[in-house]
Structure 1
Amino acid sequence: MKKLLFATVLISAFFCFTAFQCNENEDEDDFENEKSEISTMQSQIINLANSSICNDTTICKYIGFGSKACGGPKSYLIYSTSIKTDSLELLVKTYNEQEAAFNKKWGIISDCSIVNPPTDLICENNTCKAVY
């Protein structure tokens, strides 16, 4: 009887360990997949912003980009009105929300320093540049 009880406990412990091991691997996969999606979106947004040009008929702008775990933007994205700014701004809003949710879900920490926005924007060689 004791051997049967011991075997049952041992088998149960094995299955519990295996189940938790799978959950840890799934969590790690979820983390990496979500991180990859956010990184891909970040690259697309940066490429779109970098495709903008400035000249006499466009305006240079900036928008808070990314989400620090403590709150606030990670940086400021510089772009001009030569591109579809509504689309860019919506992408950035979505990206910021997804990164904030990712940070909260996975317990991401960051420094809580405040990133200051540019004090001015200038057009130099058809590219918007931030002045700090």
Structure 2
Amino acid sequence: MNTVWQTFGVMGLSLLVMGCQPPQQETVAEPEIALQDQQQMQNQITEMDQQIRSMVGMAYAEDAKQCRLAEVGHRPCGGPDYYLGYSTSTVDAEVLTKLINEHRELQQAYQQEFGIMGTCEVLPRPVVTLQGGRCVAVHASDR
């Protein structure tokens, strides 16, 4: 009789232990979906970059006071991807700044999400000058 109770005890304990374990879920990695997501984000980043460049256009200005310098994009180690001179006479600075910030945030999210690495070089900050009626970002070595 003692063995019958022991058997029931072991069975009960086994059921209790099995009931406490989380259900096993089948997780199948979907590399195709990840690649599609990565490609979609890359396409969005590229489209936004083209919008920024298109918005700035030729950056025509009549006075150097209309020239500004924008930091565009994000490098994996920090800092902008590139600098771009623009003119406040041809661009709404608030709209451009908003687009640049959205682009930067998307690029940062992409880099974090997919573990993108960079060369960690620091780009020297250029100055923006008026040359031939256009706002241009010029590096010290180019002056």
* Shift in Å, 1:56: 2.9
Query: TM-score, normalization: structure 1?
Result: 0.78
Identity %: 26
C-alpha spacing 1:94/1:39, structure 2 compared with 1 (3 Å): same
Find the counterpart in structure 2 of residue 105 from structure 1. Answer: 113
> TM-score with structure 2 length normalisation?
0.73
| The one of 101, 104, 115 aligned to 1:96 | 104
Q: Secondary structure at the match of 1:103?
A: helix
2:59, 2:85 within 8 Å by CA — same for their partners in 1? Answer: no
Larger Rg, first or second structure (1 or 2): 2
Partner Cα separation in structure 2 for residue 103 and residue 71 of structure 1:
11
- Paired with 1:116 and 1:57, the residues of 2 have a C-alpha distance of 21
Q: How many angstroms apart in 1 are the aligned matches of 2:64 and 2:70?
A: 20
Corresponding residue for residue 12 of structure 1? none
Moved over 3 A (4+): none
Given that 2:58 and 2:134 are in contact with CA atoms closer than 8 Å, whether structure 1 keeps it comes out as: no
Tell me the distance in 2 between the aligned counterparts of 1:34 and 1:91.
Answer: 16
Computed over aligned residues only, the root mean square deviation of the Cα atoms, in angstroms, reads: 1.8
Structure 1 CA distance, aligned partners of 2:57 and 2:112?
29
Alignment of 1:1-132 (within 5 A): 19-20=28-29, 23-56=30-63, 59-82=66-89, 83-118=91-126, 120-132=127-139
Q: SS of the residue aligned with 1:93?
A: helix
- Across the two proteins, how many residue pairs are aligned to each other? 113
Say whether the 8 Å CA contact 2:56–2:86 is kept in structure 1: yes
Where structure 1 has 5 or more consecutive residues not aligned to the other structure, the ranges are: 1-15
C-alpha distance after superposition, 1:80-111 (max 9, x if no partner): 11110110011001111110111010100111
Q: Name structure 2 gaps, 5 residues minimum.
A: 1-25
